[in-house]
Every structure is written in C-alpha cells, then in structure tokens.
Amino acid sequence: MLVSHGAGHWTETILRTSKDAADRLVGVSAVAAEAFQTLGVNVIHNGADGERCQVTQPRHALRQEWGVTAGEKLIGYLGRFSWEKNPLAAALAVRELGEPFRAVYLGGGWKEKEVKAAVCEVAPDAIFLPPREDIGNVLNALDVLVLASPSEGFSLSLTEAWLCGLPAVATRVGAVPELEAIHGQLVTPVPVRPSASQLAAAVRQALSVENQTVVERAKRVAWANYTAKAMGDRWTKFLIETTATAGNLAASRENDRKALANP
C-alpha cells in the first residue's frame, strides 16, 4: 500500500521509484492521487487529530505569556519551515497591514534559521514558537491563519484551523478545491504567490463579520468529515473491501488452478 501525501515534482519523483512495488495506490486528495501519474488510484481524504485541537488554556493567558499586548491581532503560520511552503506570507501580510497586526510562527524544519532570519527582516517583532502538541491552545490564541503554499496534498494545519474555528487565508491548492466543491467555501482565498497587498486584503476579509459564515461552515464540515476518526473509518472500510477483493481473487485463482490440474 503506497500513499501519496503531496503534490508537485518532488512527490512525483519519489512515487515514480516506488509505485511499481505496491499492490494498491492511495492519495489523500485528488491532487495527491494525480501525483502517481497513473490510473486506478484511490482517494482517501485526510483527517486531523481532534484531541490536539482541544482548548485547555485561556486565550488571554497564552497571549500574555507570549508578550502580546491588548488589541494586537495575531496572524499565524503553522507548519514546516521550508521555502516551498511560502512561510514568508504571514510576515508580508503583517508588514502591509501595520499595527496592530503581528506574526506568530509555530514549527521547525531544515530551513528554520533561514526562514526565521527572512521573517525578522520583514516583521521584526514576530513571535516564534517550537512545535507543541496542544495546537488547539495556540490556534485559539491567534486571529487568523495564513497558508499560502503553492502546492499541498491535504493540509493538516489548515484542517486544524477549521476544527478550531480559526479564520483561514489560503491558496486554493491541494484538497481545498475539491472540498469546497462538495461543502461550499471554506477559506478566504489568495492566488498562488500572492502579493503583500493581496495577503493583507485577504486577512481583512477573513476577519470580517461577513466571513463568519465561512468560518462556522468550515468548523462544522471539518468535525463531521475530516477528523482522525473519520479518516480512520474511511481507511477501515477501504482495507476491509480491499482484503475481501484480494481474498476473492485468490480463491478464484485457486479454483482455476484446481480445474487445470483436474480436467
């Protein structure tokens, strides 16, 4: 069983070297499935851990711990510190918006030093947090998430924002287009490689009263369909069906063998 979690050249290259050894191919979204560049790929949508998204610490307490003053608006980036994720987008939005906006970065990665240095040049008062499990507390302390990746498979960071009811500014890549085709609008969109002004405008829209309907829809949809449990149920069904199909095929082949041996 080989599963594609991403999209783009790097993912396609890795899958190309492995797919011939697999009995079943699965993508976590339609775009991730396309990375196999072959037909017959199953799509099993991802899901985020709802337990991580529980809020156990007051919003004001965590913001106070970070040194955030009253009235500041926090724009967050959650994910790998790597350039293909376009992590600088949150900082660019903050610089364009000015006070009272401030950037918060949670994560790590092989380009961490480079990313932090670039962010600090754009948004000197940015807050950097190490990876942590209580992601619900962090997202509850933010005001909006920015995920401006040029490509994704099925973003768990975005899914966690939905589960936490946090407004999300995102590129419509990865699973976003297919999920919005099913459920309606789930993010405030920005184009791939957005400008600072486009990011700032999207943040303002995400924080508007009019966008609250989108935020509530995304939270409802995510809890109903894109939790780890829902994903587990999809995988359980798929594996049972796959095992049954394999068993029937094996039995058919055995019957054929016996028929040939005893004409």
Mean pLDDT of 64-69: 96
Mean pLDDT of 176-181: 98
Residue 258: per-residue pLDDT: 53
Residue 248: per-residue pLDDT: 52
Which structure tokens are listed for 151? 């490509």
The answer to whether residues 6 and 32 touch, using CB atoms and an 8 Å cutoff, is yes
pLDDT at residue 149 greater than cutoff 80: yes
- pLDDT tens-digit series, residues 25-41: 999 999 999 999 999 99
Rounded-to-10 torsion of CA 120, 66, 189, 50: 130
Number of Cβ within a 10 Å radius of residue 220: 13
Find tokens 């190490």 and name the residue.
130
Q: Counting beta carbons within 10 angstroms of the beta carbon of residue 231, is it exposed (0 to 12), middle (13 to 18) or buried (19 or more)?
A: buried
% of the chain at pLDDT higher than 70: 93
- pLDDT tens-digit series, residues 233-254: 999 999 999 888 755 544 444 4
Of 167, 207, 208, 212, nearest in space to 187 by CA: 167
- pLDDT tens-digit series, residues 84-128: 999 999 999 999 999 999 999 999 999 999 999 999 999 999 999
- pLDDT tens-digit series, residues 210-238: 999 999 999 999 999 999 999 999 999 99
Question: Tell me, which fold does domain 50-225 have in CATH?
Answer: Rossmann fold (3.40.50)
pLDDT at residue 10 greater than cutoff 60: yes
Ordered by start, the domain boundaries in the chain are 1-44, 50-225
Residue 93: per-residue pLDDT: 98
The answer to whether residues 202 and 193 touch, using CB atoms and an 8 Å cutoff, is no
% of the chain at pLDDT higher than 90: 89
Rounded-to-10 torsion of CA 238, 244, 247, 252: -120
Beta partners for residue 171, in sequence order: 190
Mean of all residue pLDDT scores within the chain: 93
Residue 261: per-residue pLDDT: 64
- pTM for the predicted model, two decimal places: 0.91
Q: 195 vs 244, which has greater pLDDT?
A: 195
